[in-house]
Amino acid sequence: MAEAGSSHAHMDEGFTPPLKSGKKSASESLQNETKGESEKSSSDEKKYSCSKCKLEFRRTSDLRRHERTHLPVLPNICSQCGKGFARKDALKRHSNTLTCRRNRSKLLSIGGDINEILERAQQTGNGT
């Protein structure tokens, strides 16, 4: 046994040091983690399925956003290269990227006015 004046005076068997405020013991943490996992698995169920590709989503808003990817003509068209996007944020990320510049170069190599080519693609529903 340690001397009374040493810092190891409380090292007796069965002694559990007091916890600092807000701290959980290891067993409490493990119980909470296990409880959280069982709760999480029930709330993580995916209830909403895409009718086109069978992907599943937890929220209807996620399903609606995804379903736009299946549209025959994508609503957000890049004015530089003609590539279509289901979402406006994807179009914004695409603008002035290397992909956009490459697509534009391919369009220009076809010949003709870029605006005419893009207009024709929008009318026929053929994206490039």
Are 85 and 58 in a shared domain? no
- Residue 114: predicted pLDDT: 74
Are 84 and 117 in a shared domain? yes
Q: Is residue 87 part of a domain?
A: yes
- Residue 82: predicted pLDDT: 86
Q: Is residue 14 part of a domain?
A: no
Are 85 and 120 in a shared domain? yes
Query: What is the CATH number for 55?
Result: 3.30.160
Highest mean pLDDT among 1-5, 84-88, 110-114: 84-88
Are 83 and 107 in a shared domain? yes
Range of the domain at 88: 75-124
Confidence of residue 124 (pLDDT cuts 50, 70, 90): low
What is the per-residue DSSP string for 25-92? Answer: -HHHHHHHHHHHHHHHHHHT---EE-TTT--EESSHHHHHHHHGGG-SS-SEE-TTT--EESSHHHHH
In the chain, % of residues over pLDDT 90: 30
Are 67 and 82 in a shared domain? no
Q: pLDDT digits over 87-121, tens only?
A: 999 999 999 899 999 988 988 888 767 778 777 76
Are 55 and 90 in a shared domain? no
